[in-house]
Structure 1
């Protein structure tokens, strides 16, 4: 005779306080993204899965959460899926349906994504890597999905570059070079400034699936910094990247504002209530600290500020 196991998690907690996020993190799954006419892309993705917990329930059913996420992601591998944010939205909606006590379900995903490209000067084939950021929050009112990416690039400090230009100007004038020639030279040859590796993050969140292409998100983020960087670089490529970066020196604040400008131009079709999150963090080369700037804003507000 078998005995019924008690459902301890459904019991009353000792402290009746509700919790906004309870779940699991670090869940690794293969996700297959279909592409029209080409082989699918297989991603090794890491998921976080959360539901809210009312004050009168001791715990969530972790085995049920894992079963739901497993079922959903296994379906994503075997069925055509074109958007990673839709995988997250599907999982969040399944979680909401499976838990009668839950009012909010959230699924977040990260995965490394490889983009094939050519080096800027020598035209050699290479690869760059971006981190895909996707997620979804499902409630009784509907599901909001998020898609974005974090990319790496290069920035040059305009302040230190300005000091270098001032020093160069004084030296050239002391050598007897005419004023107009000095300015013409400084316009043609950007002066040194301390440079650093920068990390740009851009995400878009909207009701349902954001109508943006992941590659466009990656391009906007990469182009917000002083210059793109490449894993492979011959000497002409190194010269190209160095020149381009110094010709477009940017503070960390400039990077976010540049990203905002490109978002309005590239994604002007997005609805007013779509939310854009833009972030820039620079690994400063002459300081031990990092420089950081970010903005989270609706498309409606961003359009009004830009225009």
Structure 2
């Protein structure tokens, strides 16, 4: 009885492999290429949540290596049931073990060619690090920020949006005006997205954000530094409305930025809600 059982188990485990060898991968059913009769084109279909090493330009050190969370998408014509997800990974890995920012157009065009698609999209979000010195003690420490690339190709035309997110300190002007002792302050998050005609440094956008707030943040502060940032914030109160306007004025003055969107959200310290403001503009350039 045990001999028959062992023989049956061997037959069951080898039969699928034998079938694959007999027919080959090209004979397997391709469900994605079957016709779909719902007559609905899909704008973006693909993969999201990939983590992959990338190399970006660094103003202080020329290059910075980090890890991005990546999304890759193409359009799907109405006649096809689905897309072949593995091909996105093939395109990504064909460009090596590290994605360079300069390769983004090549990746977009490669997706168009691989999928016979009219449009392709690539999103990359990653931590970006800068060395920052405390304002008084001058002690150095690493600060992390969030940066994002959103790129799309429609035919030969490429649209590229750079987004940078930085945390800041905001002190309430109203609280300062009505209180005899102090004023409430909180951590705010500013998100800036830009289109440009010449490359814009991530560091320059961070500087614009931080200098527009009540005070910027630091990873490392000694007592003399804490005194400085507390007093600086008190001397520079801003609402979220002030914050987005301050950033917008500087972005609009940048000669290479053609469009921007600024969002500010304060994580209120005395309210059970956040304060939010958004400002979006297309810049008029000569």
Does 2:113 align with 1:129? no
For 2:131 and 2:31, the matched residues in 1 are separated by 51
Deviates more, 1:144-153 or 1:11-20: 11-20
> Cα offset for 1:131?
0.5
For 2:105 and 2:127, the matched residues in 1 are separated by 20
Does 2:138 align with 1:151? no
What is the CA deviation profile of residues 158-182 of structure 1, one whole-angstrom value per residue up to 9, with x for unaligned ones?
Answer: 1111111xxx4xxxxxxxxxxxxxx
- Residue 198 of structure 1 aligns with which residue? 188
Match of 2:49 among 21, 26, 37: 26
> Cα offset for 1:73?
5.5
Gap runs ≥5 in structure 2: 1-21
SS at match of 1:72: coil
Does 2:4 align with 1:17? no
What is the CA deviation profile of residues 229-273 of structure 1, one whole-angstrom value per residue up to 9, with x for unaligned ones?
Answer: 1011111111111111111111111111100011123x2234xxx
> Cα offset for 1:14?
4.9
Match of 1:95 among 111, 123, 126: 111
What is the CA deviation profile of residues 146-165 of structure 1, one whole-angstrom value per residue up to 9, with x for unaligned ones?
Answer: 2231011100111111111x
Spell out the pairing of 1:40-119 with structure 2 (5 A cutoff).
40-72=63-95, 74=97, 76=99, 81=100, 84=101, 86-100=102-116, 102-119=117-134
TM-score in terms of structure 2 length: 0.85
For 1:111 and 1:264, the matched residues in 2 are separated by 26
Match of 2:269 among 271, 280, 285: 285
Over alpha carbons, which structure has the higher Rg? 2
TM-score in terms of structure 1 length: 0.79
Contact 1:148–1:203 (Cα < 8 Å) also in 2: yes
Gap runs ≥5 in structure 1: 169-190
Pairwise CA RMSD = 2.3
- Residue 264 of structure 1 aligns with which residue? 252
- Residue 226 of structure 1 aligns with which residue? 214
In the alignment of these two chains, the number of paired residues is 263
SS at match of 1:121: coil
> Cα offset for 1:97?
2.0
The 1:75–1:94 alpha-carbon spacing in structure 2 relative to 1, beyond 3 Å, is farther
SS at match of 2:23: coil
